[in-house]
A and B are shown apart, each in its own frame.
Chain A
């Protein structure tokens, strides 16, 4: 069965620290997509990244980086030099390609608190 686990319910760090949010997934499919979404206190869901299962290259976007490792079924998200504006709930999600639409399987989310 498909499943996404974000074991860290809440993380609290001081500004400028680096922080890594873990995401472990389960799927029987060989073709799938992984996502990270950010939900700030205002409530909207903001798309951060999509990664397909054939692309294990790590990605960096400014202070954000993602480490995709198929061997451990993990898709971890690191924020470098965190800022207060990074405070939000971060969701990892999985979508299997055999579905013709976005039936995203969501993790429970990790609440990230960045203290000034």
Chain B
């Protein structure tokens, strides 16, 4: 079965650079979530989209922005990167109705040097 696809798997950037992470949800899933997981920490909710509209915002810094496109894929844009942004970034998708579980992608490991 198709899963959530994230790209790239690994990304190395320098401080103050910009990064773009991509997420392709499971087909027919209408909701996408972004999570950030620092080393040794539990995942923290950043932002979510439902039917291409932002539905909720968590602890997402102002330097980050995200959007969901007409084909339901989503991109997380991160600017003015800081060392503390180094983390595993997960995208998850679900079908909003019926409380189906969140299916996570394999994550993008971002290292800021």
Contacts and interface: CB of A to CB of B under 8 A. Distances in A.
B64 interface: no
A44 interface: yes
Given A35-B101, A45-B90, A101 B107 contact: no
Given A43-B106, A45-B90, A45-B107, A104 B45 contact: yes
Given A47-B103, A102-B94, 11 more contacts: A44-B105, A45-B92, A47-B101, A52-B99, A91-B42, A99-B56, A100-B96, A101-B48, A101-B50, A106-B42, A107-B42
Bin chain A's interface residue count.
Answer: 20 to 34
Interface of B: 31, 33, 41-43, 45, 48, 50, 55-56, 58, 88, 90, 92, 94, 96, 99, 101-107, 109
B42 A102 contact: no
B96 A101 contact: yes
Nearest to B88: A43
A108 interface: yes
Given A43-B107, A47-B102, A102 B88 contact: no
Given A43-B88, A107-B42, A102 B102 contact: yes
Given A101-B33, A102-B33, A45 B104 contact: yes
A43 B42 contact: no
A50 B55 contact: no
